[in-house]
Amino acid sequence: MKNLSVRTIVAIGIGAALFFVLARFVAIPSPVPNTSITTQYGLLAFMSALFGPVAGLLIGFIGHFLNDLSAGWGVWWSWVICSGIFGLLVGFGCKGISLEDGKFGKSQIIRFNIVQAVSHLICWAAIAPTLDILMYQEPVNKVYLQGLVASAANIVTTAIIGTILCIAYAKTRPQAGSLNKE
């Protein structure tokens, strides 16, 4: 933690707060019980790509923890852990994408979306349901259905919201060499 810049620490606090607000107030119930179509993972993917895997891990973990804590049903640790893992995976997978350079073109968009889709599948279709079974003795068919629905919904919302955030942010940054005289 001592290697994190002040900028990254502030981003973790702001990112976790925004994750919480989006999870708490901008969620659409899905037909599958205890599963919603949510928007916070687009923000988390963007923040992870911008600030890296440690920030992504902490934003996802803290934001999801705060959401569960405030919801009244208790903290569902399997999914809290997976929100952190998702941020970590996206942060590592997007290391070659430098939004700070003002470049987020077609190849970066494709890479970002492959990374986020694979990360969602790993987290929600594999790890979270398995942890639900191990930690809470949940029925196998129920949790894997929830995981598949959550994966699909999160992939779509992240592709839309995360990509828009990355493109918008990159456009605010000066591109390398853009100030050179020709």
Angle between helices 77-93 and 128-136 (to 10 degrees): 150
Task: Assess if residue 100 is contained within a domain.
Answer: yes
Buried b (16+ CB within 10 A) or exposed e, 102-120: eebeeebbebbbebbbebb
Structural domain includes residue 83: yes
Report whether pLDDT(182) > 60. Answer: no
Residue 145 lies in a domain: yes
Q: What residue numbers bound the domain in which 105 lies?
A: 6-172
The pLDDT value recorded for residue 174 is: 85
Residue 50 has which token pair? 């911008």
Contact present, 30 and 149 (Cβ < 8 Å)? yes
Residue 101 is classified by DSSP as: G
Q: So what's the pLDDT on residue 72?
A: 85
The pLDDT, as a whole number, for residue 63 is 98
Q: How confident is the model at residue 33 (pLDDT cuts 50, 70, 90)?
A: confident
Contact of 166 with 112, CB cutoff 8 Å: yes
- Please tell me the total count of domains within the chain: 1
Confidence (pLDDT) at 147: 96
Q: Is residue 37 part of a domain?
A: yes
User: Tokens in use for 36?
Assistant: 């919603």
Please tell me the predicted confidence (pLDDT) of residue 83.
98
**How large is the average pLDDT for residues 158-177?**
92
* CATH code of the domain in which 141 resides: 1.10.1760.20
Does residue 178 fall inside a structural domain? no
Summarize pLDDT for 99-133 with one digit per residue, the tens: 999 999 999 999 999 999 999 999 999 999 999 99
Is the pLDDT at 180 greater than 70? The verdict is no
- pLDDT at residue 176, rounded to an integer: 61
Which tens digits make up the pLDDT trace of 90-99? 999 999 998 9
Q: Summarize the confidence of residues 61-85 as an average pLDDT.
A: 95
